[in-house]
Structure formats: C-alpha cells, structure tokens
Structure 1
Amino acid sequence: MNKNGVKVIKWVDKRQILMISTLKEDKDVLVNTGKKNRKTNEDIKKPTCVLTYNNNKKGVDFSDQMSSYYSTLKRGLKWFRKVGMEYLLGMALVNAWITYNVKCDKKVSKKEFTEALMQSLTGKSICADSKYNDV
C-alpha cells in the first residue's frame, strides 16, 4: 500500500485475482467467510476487499447478463465500435427496461420491451405477427 491508501492485491482462490483497493478500513488480515472447504473441512478465509467486492458486484453481473441475451452487436463492425454499441446501447436498453418494470404495473420481458422500443423509434413493424402492430 502506498501513502495515499491505494493497495494492490493479488489473491489466489480458484483463479488469480488482481485488485486495486482504496478502502480505508481494509486490513491485511484474512477474514473468515463462514464457509468450510469440502475436502479439508478448514475454514475459508478471504481479504476484506474481496468479500466487499463479492457482496457488491451483484447488480453489475445482473446488468451484464441481461444485456447479453439480446445483444446490440452487429457483425462486421470494428472492435471499438462494437464496444461502444454494446456499452452505450446495451446498457441503456437494460437500464430503461428495468426502470420501466419498476415504474409500471405490467411487467414485460426484455425481448418485448426491445421490440416495442424499436417499433416506436422507427415507426415500422418489427414483424407481421408482432403484438405491437396496433400501437
């Protein structure tokens, strides 16, 4: 750790993990996770920053999972355009879908929400049997 409080940590659990932490209360000790190793029956211990990360990453994982189902990526684009499209459009779409489901009484699937959004933005029907043709 340097004098500004930035700590670089390398932790090996199932894989190597490299982390940069600025937690003030982060100590150099291992904390018991409350779980036991199945083979050796020893307590599993991890650094505090790893436990904090694991507890707080759930929203990011959910967002990544939802944006991967119906990706906004297109074949033939250069890699930096793909990254921009995925982060800008994919994340915006997932955030709009979650906000819509929180605010409205009627819950819709991400596919239905995406189709309705595309139809409202383009003014064209997605497919002939779409249930949004009458909107």
Structure 2
Amino acid sequence: MSKLIKKNVEDLNVKGKFVLVRVDFNVPMKDGKITNDNRITAALPTINKLTENGAKVVLCSHLGKPKNGPEAKFSLKPAADRLAELVSAKVTFAPDDTVVGENAKKAVAEMKDGDVVLLENTRYRAEETKNIDSFSEELASLADVFVNDAF
C-alpha cells in the first residue's frame, strides 16, 4: 500500500486500483434488521466517488461487540444488502469468519472496476480491538490504497 497521504478521494487516481475503505457501518439492529441506516448513507459520497472513478472498493467495518468470535447477529450481511439498495455499483458481501480468509480473497480477486465488496465484521478478529499489526497487514494486502471514511 502507498505511504503517500492525500486529503480527499478526489485527489486520487483510482482507476483499476483496489481501494480499502474503512467505513462505520456500526448501525443499530433489531431482529436482524437495520433500524437506522444513517451511517451507511454517510459513506455514500465516498463510495460513489470511488466507484464512479473506476476503483475496486473493498469496505471494512465493525458492528457491535462480539464477545466470542463470530456471531451471526453481528454479521454485516444486512449492511451489504442495504448498501446494494443505495448504490448503482455491484455490491458483494464476503462472508468470512476470519474477515480476510479465502472467501474474502476470492471475492476481491473477482472484482471489476467500479465494484464493491463488503468484508465481514472486523471485530470477528480479536486483533481488531487489540491493534495488532498482523491483522492490519492482512487487510492492507487486499488493496493498493487506503481511505479512512469512519468517524
């Protein structure tokens, strides 16, 4: 991943590049349904700008606080479904309990310019809350560019 720091996605030439975007899709849920999608809609300007400019957009986020590893109620699948309703780009959800395992790598490898892949909940990995570099390096291996769109 490039060490060059830019301030806006408008400053980036992203055509054909894999762009890892940290988003905040930590949305309220009830009975497996999103009750407020404001955090998803807040990310739309960045996602749309990148897809319109031909990036392959790989999204990562956390949801809730799983205590014992992967738990279905903390899956980002509902967020992927909602995102697919809101953007014109193709959105693929990469269900993978390790977040960056074979399912995720396959989904990313199959992307075309302008596509979006949402990875599974980063908090499925204990390393996410412990700031362990190896997990960051695994995420970084999926992309050419990193954009932080979480607040």
Calculate the TM-score normalised by the size of structure 2. Answer: 0.22
Relative contact order (C-alpha < 8 Å, sep 6+): which is higher? 2
Calculate the TM-score normalised by the size of structure 1. Answer: 0.23
Structure number with higher helix proportion: 1
